Amino acid sequence: MPPNVYRPHSVTITEFGAVGDGVTLNTKAFQNAIFYLNSFADKGGAQLFVPAGRWLTGSFNLISHLTLSLDKDAVIIGSSDSSDWPVIDPLPSYGRGRELPGKRHQSLIFGSNLTDVIITGANGTIDGQGAIWWDWFHNHTLNHTRPHLVELMYSTNVVISNLTFKNSPFWNIHPVYCSQVLVQHVTILAPLNSPNTDGIVPDSSTNVCINHCYVRSGDDVVVIKSGWDEYGISFAQPSSNISISNITGETGGGAGIALGSEMSGGISEVRAEGLCIVNSLHGIRIKTAPGRGGYVKNVYIADVSMDNVSMAIRITGNYGEHPDDKYDRNALPVISNITIKDVVGINIGVAGILEGIQGDNFSSICLSNVSLSVQSPHPWNCSLIEGYSNSVIPESCEQLRSNCRQTPVCYDGSSLAAMRAQAQRHKSSDSQFLNSFLKLASF
């Protein structure tokens, strides 16, 4: 499945009464247009084109075999009235809204149980008008968890490309329980002090490719998740086979690339390369806690540059809150086979704080060819971890001073090569998308 697919049927949102004046509410127009296009789903699919203008709308649902395409001067604007964002059930792997108990607001652009969905444009814009939601958050006047800009659930063959996302109320792009997902050539913008405006958040999803993106936001640039405590453990849907490349990011309160802290379904087979992280709190971060269970393993991060980053690498074993008091305090996460190599950083505050959990040492943490210009006289702080290092400046902490060149333990990303071989054996229609994903993600 290439990033663009020919659709034999196409309509323009104005054909359904939409007015692009930035004032008229166009929710019904989007809903009616998509309802009409559903009749073409089995006839090659359809395209909904949004021309130049400012198109105010509440939340609307996508359908399978649809391309939502924006003109370069088109702006889809989220309504500032919370009643235009329906309240829906919490994700089963979270058990409740991420911020508040109970339900959550539906994303501006939403879909569930879909296949063959493309959201694209000539760098058109989707603006969530998040400022009012951030105010409600800070003032503790929210009744339900804030909405994302885009969320697709239980969907396959998804492409999000060539768009600018601005001012999301909460996370920006959230594929959850999805497979065969491509996110490329997107720009994500939010103030550096905006709360929880994470950029791209694959969650309990597999075969995901994220490349050539620029993110400037208040929280993690790219973060991988897989469910929260006992709910994520029970739902048991991991995030795996994820490729991240050519990302430039700046974050006020997060990391350039992060894993967790909601990782109870497991995260594995992650490869991230070609990352540029500037003016940020953290560069690379893994977040977990007792009660999470699950695992983060087989993670390969390489070719990273950082400038003006407070802490280059952070692994935290006691991060974040819990959904309720029913979590199992003995459910300890497994953190192993983490390789970070070929990293250069200037204007770095602290090289790293790497902290495991008492009785649950994090293992096979490998650093190689890492050169950081660090301001702190105490560049590393490590506890309850085990691993290896080679060519690390300033010299890594004692727990990592075995030479990773002399041991086969360090993860080298080879499992993704096995994924490529497996893809060659697939004969289903989905394998065409996976092969495209693998081509894009070839290292």
Q: Return the CATH number at 334.
A: 2.160.20.10
Cα–Cα distance, 431 to 343 (Å, whole number): 34
Q: Is the pLDDT of residue 422 over 80?
A: no
- With 0-12 / 13-18 / 19 or more C-beta atoms within 10 angstroms meaning exposed / middle / buried, residue 193 is exposed
Residue 153 lies in a domain: yes
| pLDDT value for 401 | 81
**pTM above the 0.75 mark?**
yes
Question: Which one is catalytic: 198, 203, 219, 229?
Answer: 219
Residue 421 lies in a domain: no
Backbone φ and ψ for 202, nearest 5 degrees, come out as -70, 130
Q: Is the pLDDT of residue 434 over 50?
A: no
Residue 398 lies in a domain: yes
Residue 366 lies in a domain: yes
The label of the residue with tokens 């992650």 reads 270
Cα–Cα distance, 301 to 309 (Å, whole number): 17
pLDDT in tens, 258-271: 999 999 999 999 99
Mean pLDDT of the chain: 93
Give the mean pLDDT of 178-195.
98
Q: Is the pLDDT of residue 418 over 90?
A: no
> What is the DSSP secondary structure assignment for residue 62, as one 8-state letter?
-
Give the mean pLDDT of 301-306.
98
| pLDDT value for 414 | 77
pLDDT in tens, 214-251: 999 999 999 999 999 999 999 999 999 999 999 999 99
| pLDDT value for 433 | 43
The label of the residue with tokens 């003032």 reads 139
Number of domains in the chain: 1
Q: From residue 149, give the alpha-carbon distance in Å to each of 15, 58, 128, 130.
A: 24, 11, 6, 9
Residue 98 lies in a domain: yes
pLDDT band at 377 (very low <50, low <70, confident <90, very high): very high
Residue 89 lies in a domain: yes
Residue 3 lies in a domain: no
Buried b (16+ CB within 10 A) or exposed e, 19-58: bbeeeebbeebbbbbbeebeebbeeebbbbbbbebbbbbb
Domain around 81: 10-416
pLDDT in tens, 166-177: 999 999 999 999
pLDDT band at 413 (very low <50, low <70, confident <90, very high): confident
342 a catalytic residue: no
Torsion of CA 201, 318, 308, 168, to 10 degrees: 30
